[in-house]
Amino acid sequence: MTNKIHAWLVPTYQATMSSFAQASLPHALLFYGERGNGASALLAALSQTILCKQPSAKPIQACGHCPSCLLFFHGTHPDVITLAPEDNVPIGVDVVRSLFTFCAQTSTMGQAKVICLPQAHALNPAASNALLKILEEPTPDTYFLLATHKIQIMAPTVLSRCRKNHVLNPSTETLQAMFPNINAKVGGLDLEDLSWLAQDEKRLTAMLRFRECLNQVIKGKEVATALSQGVDESNLPIFFRDVLTLIQTFIHQGLGIFSVSEQKVSKQKASTLAALMDFYQEGLQLWQLLQYNNAINKTLMIDGFMIRLRAFYKESYVSNH
């Protein structure tokens, strides 16, 4: 029973485990890249191999059947802790402070200890400061494995204590081969979204319905509030990215779709572009709220945004076809 990793992650995995075998692995590693690159699976595979009692040598990987591997596979290994945000609430300082005791203790299984943070960017400022204190005074045979797709918002002090490893995203061809039935229908999604859709066929149906409704809303064939109707609120953060993609499309089209006279072309294009950029920035902020703030009325927020976006589109867009 081993945690399998995807092919594009193998070089990073092998390089990291080679350092471990040579006793040169630093106590804190950060794996960063774009969202959906499979870094969470990489952390799991590294953790299991580090804790394995009988790892193979060539290639270096967990045996899958020793007591440590079995405990890890069933999520009950006493020497590994995974910190992740719950209900989209950032990781707090009290959770990180609990690691002081864990790090000070000896390993239960007689191997190493591992702390995983698959969403390291979700640490709030106080939690980042607490983690920094732990990283500044590392304990023997204790490894911190962090991953993030938002390295730009992480505390520089924490980054300075980690060896950083850039993880590439899988190619479009790879994703199409992994998810042929889903990718052909939705396209343009990353590994994380495709894996999420593959878990439940209803999610794929709901996403396709959302995209079709978005198209109808923009064309004025549906009211703006129709977009969020009947959509499970837990799906809204992922589905709303299609709205952001649509706005990006308008921007990337260079505003050529907007009807303007030759004399006013520059002024109107500049004004429209500025408005689109404002919509995009507001949409990004709303997307963050949809992900991390469960106290808001997500349906109401999306309805208000779409009403204004639809009105802007109606006023600015004139079909040339």
Q: Is the pLDDT of residue 53 over 50?
A: yes
Please report the pLDDT score of residue 220 as a whole number. 86
Confidence tier at 301 by pLDDT (50, 70, 90):
very high
Tell me what the mean pLDDT of segment 262-274 comes to: 66
Q: Which residue has the tokens 């490894």?
A: 143
Confidence tier at 317 by pLDDT (50, 70, 90):
low
> Phi/psi class of residue 307: alpha, beta or left (left: φ > 0; alpha: ψ in -120 to 50)?
alpha
Q: Is the pLDDT of residue 198 over 90?
A: no
Q: Which CATH architecture has domain 7-168?
A: 3-Layer(aba) Sandwich (3.40)
Say if residue 74 is exposed, middle or buried (CB neighbours under 10 Å; 0-12, 13-18, 19+).
exposed
Question: Cα separation of 306 and 321, whole Å?
Answer: 24
Tell me what the mean pLDDT of segment 288-311 comes to: 86
What's the start-to-end Cα distance of the chain, in Å? 58
Please report the pLDDT score of residue 303 as a whole number. 93
Question: Cα separation of 320 and 266, whole Å?
Answer: 19
What number of CA atoms fall less than 13 Å from residue 29's CA on the CB side?
24
Q: Is the pLDDT of residue 262 over 50?
A: no
Closest CA to 139 of 110, 113, 109, 111: 113
**What is the token pair recorded at 291?**
């992900």
Question: Cα separation of 78 and 68, whole Å?
Answer: 9
Please report the pLDDT score of residue 159 as a whole number. 96
Q: Is the pLDDT of residue 320 over 50?
A: no
Q: If you compute the radius of gyration of the chain from its CA atoms, what whole number of angstroms results?
A: 23
Q: Where are the beta strands (DSSP E) in 18-75?
A: 28-32
For residue 116, the SS3 value is strand
The percentage of residues in the chain with a pLDDT greater than 70, rounded to a whole number, is: 92
112 close to 79: Cβ distance less than 8 angstroms: yes
Tell me what the mean pLDDT of segment 142-147 comes to: 97
Confidence tier at 270 by pLDDT (50, 70, 90):
confident
Confidence tier at 164 by pLDDT (50, 70, 90):
very high
Confidence tier at 184 by pLDDT (50, 70, 90):
confident
Please report the pLDDT score of residue 267 as a whole number. 67
**What is the token pair recorded at 211?**
């995209």
Q: Is the pTM of this model over 0.85?
A: no
Please report the pLDDT score of residue 263 as a whole number. 46
Domain range annotation of the chain: 7-168, 200-316
Confidence tier at 319 by pLDDT (50, 70, 90):
very low
